[in-house]
Structure 1
Amino acid sequence: MTIRYRTTVVDGLDVFYREAGDPSAPTLVLLHGFPTSSVAYHELITELADEFHLIAPDYPGFGHSSAPAADEFTYTFDRLTDVVDALLDSLGLRSYALYVHDYGAPVGFRLALRHPERIAGIVTQNGNAYEEGLTPFWEPFKKVWADPSADVAPLLGLLTPEATRWQYAHGVSDLSLVNPDKAALDQARLDRPGNHEIQLALFRDYGTNPGLYPLWQEYLREHRPPLLAVWGRNDEIFGPDGARAFARDLPDARIHLLDAGHFPLETRGRQIAGLVRDFLRTLSDRP
């Protein structure tokens, strides 16, 4: 199945996105996490494009999209959402399911709050919306959120090659399944001049997301979107209790805790593709 690699201008920025499948088919918008880009979804897009329309953008500062300096663009999750929202509008998308991972969750749930009528369903792959999902990994972040003058050295450590490889490798029982090219590509982009400042700005702004969890949960209770959680149960960043918590607001949520870490697509891609395909088919059956 052909994947097309496109770039369009949104708010003066070049925004790159991958697109595949028949545009008249049900659409799945795939929102990537840190420190990667839409490349994280390349194999999943290939698996699903025979039946669905798929759009996977790169946020500003990531992948092939523009990366203006941190003093030239306001790197917040609100602004990332503005850009993705404008992109989807420019593509004429008025109904779509979301696939969210890591940073994709705060972008995706902001989209859902803005346009609840557009969201046909949600797939969350270690995309958190509950306090229960925040592991001890977040303690250094919380210090910076509480005091912007706090030492950011522990956060800078997350921009190193070792930290990037760790995100892919931790919680994985068979490391031979992890493609090292993904971490190498992510690191090359992190190492671009000025990118550390971009990532630090988003690290600081991530503190706005837990405060929005009650609003995201209210959205779930009120609008009851079908939800599939495909979650690496060994993730030390967003723990499995974050997946289980969705059932509190959506008793019909489909929750699958997989033997994987933070990037379950890397080791459980075929399994996840099958679960997502079955889930999306149920959306087309809804009245």
Structure 2
Amino acid sequence: MNTRNLLAAASTLATALTAQAAESPAQVHYRHIEIQGVNVFYREAGSPTAPTVLLLHGFAASSYMFRDLIPQLARQYHVIAPDLPGFGQTTVMPDVEFKYTFDNVTSVIDDFTVAKNLDHYAIYVFDYGAPVGWRLAVKHPQKITAIVSQNGNAYEEGLSAGWADMRRAWAEPTAANRETLRRFNTPDMIKWQYTEGVTDPTLIPPESYQLASAAIERIGVDAQMDLLLDYGQNVKQYPQLHEYFRRYQPPLLALWGKNDPFFTPPGAEAFKRDNPNAEVRFLDTGHLALETHGDDIAQAMREFLDRNVKP
């Protein structure tokens, strides 16, 4: 084989290896960092020099919900997914008194982004992750490069009748009204949140809701009841969020499980009222859409991020 052929063969091999590397799943690292007396567990993958995507989970879940999404995004992006205080593997230090409010949870995550040197980042918000992400966006609009909301509500019309018990407790936070919220944390109710509205429940891996239930049992149900009681504060802050949307017009993609028993499709459509450039897509599934439509969401996110965030 002459020199020209050798060079051609080497070039072909290098191209093939580069393509193979691009298609190979990115390695995910599992780490902890102490923030405000909270031992924050997080998943991280992708090059730190690439644009960052911050994934914020909700109830009843943890960063485990992103287990398949992270490797798909990390081929081009730096992906970080923390467990919020009260969830998953994140724990409060024994000598620390932590009040479970969305302001306090956001404060921990805000300081977490600073500790991780995240000066600019896109956010994926789901369920409880939404009010955390919304607070970050309102406080640091210059840091937010794009938003993906997967059943992350931001409008009153998105709250279904399923919030009746919570609304009663917000209006009258008595011990009796608080106690009615306990049922939302039972294993059967958590499983229902994963399977309700799903055409084929056999697509839901049982460990997803089992791990969520185990974390609640381990950490304690009081933290969850405190957050449910505090959720009314998120609704009160909607006007500030809407002003943020109108003023900054961030690139926004709403990917919505249209059969969600808690956050209804009108809440997704409402994004376009304050942000006319918002893109809204509906998926024929329930609340935890990643469990049944993970590949669809990953593809839509990559296309959206590639258009709006420079890789």
Q: Is the 8 A contact 1:6 1:17 kept in 2?
A: yes
Cα displacement (A) at 1:285: 5.0
In 1, the alpha carbon distance for the partners of 2:107 and 2:310 equals 31
Counterparts of 1:254-269 in structure 2, within 5 Å, are 254-269=279-294
Task: Please say which structure displays the higher CA radius of gyration.
Answer: 2
Deviations 1:246-280 (A, max 9, x none): 01111111100100100000000000000000011
1:34 to 54, 59, 77: 59
Deviation sequence 1:22-46 (CA, Å, 0-9, x none): 1111110000101211111111001
- Aligned equivalents of 2:180 and 2:192: distance in 1? 15
Q: Deviation at 1:154?
A: 2.7
Alignment pair present for 1:183 and 2:219: no
Alpha-carbon contact 1:58-1:65 (below 8 Å) kept: yes
Residues 1:9 and 2:34 aligned together: yes
Give yes or no for the alignment of 1:24 onto 2:52. Answer: no
Alpha carbons of structure 1 residues 61 and 67: separation in structure 2 relative to 1, 3 Å: farther
| Secondary structure, aligned partner of 1:172 | coil
Report if the CA contact (8 A) 2:198-2:286 is conserved. yes
* Contact 1:16–1:58 (8 Å) recurs in 2: yes
In the alignment, is residue 166 of structure 1 matched against residue 200 of structure 2? Answer: no
Contact 2:257 2:287 in 1 (8 A): yes
Give the total of aligned pairs: 285
| Partner residue in 1 for 2:157 | 132
Structure 1: gaps of 5 or more residues: none
Distance 1:182 1:104 in 2: 17
Whether the 8 Å CA contact 2:37–2:93 is kept in 1: the answer is no
Q: Is the contact between residue 31 and residue 43 of structure 2 (CA under 8 Å) also seen in structure 1?
A: yes
Structure 1 residues 67 and 35: CA distance shift in structure 2, 3 A:
farther
SS of the residue aligned with 1:164?
A: helix
Choose between structure 1 and 2: higher helix proportion. 2
Q: Would you say the 8 A contact 2:127–2:153 is kept in 1?
A: yes
Deviation at 1:153, TM superposition (A): 3.4
Q: Is the 8 A contact 1:32 1:101 kept in 2?
A: yes
What secondary structure sits across from 2:67 in the alignment?
Answer: helix
Q: TM-score, normalised by structure 2?
A: 0.89
Once residues 241 and 136 of structure 2 are traced to their aligned partners in structure 1, the CA distance between those partners, rounded to angstroms, is: 10
Answer yes or no: is the 8 Å Cα contact 2:178–2:229 preserved in 1: no
2:115 is the counterpart of 1:90: yes
Q: Which 4+ stretches in 1 moved above 2 angstroms?
A: 150-154
Segments of 5+ residues of structure 2 without an aligned counterpart are 1-25
TM-score normalised by the chain length of structure 1: 0.96
User: Once structures 1 and 2 are overlaid, which stretch shifts more, 117-126 or 9-18?
Assistant: 9-18
Q: CA deviation at 1:152?
A: 2.6
Q: Distance in 2 between matches of 1:60 and 1:247?
A: 31
Of the candidates 58, 73, 92, which is equivalent to residue 83 of structure 2? 58
Q: 1:73–1:285: structure 2 CA closer, same or farther, 3 Å change rule?
A: closer
The alignment's C-alpha RMSD in Å is 1.5
Amino acid at match of 2:180: P
The residue type equivalent to 2:251 in the other structure is: P
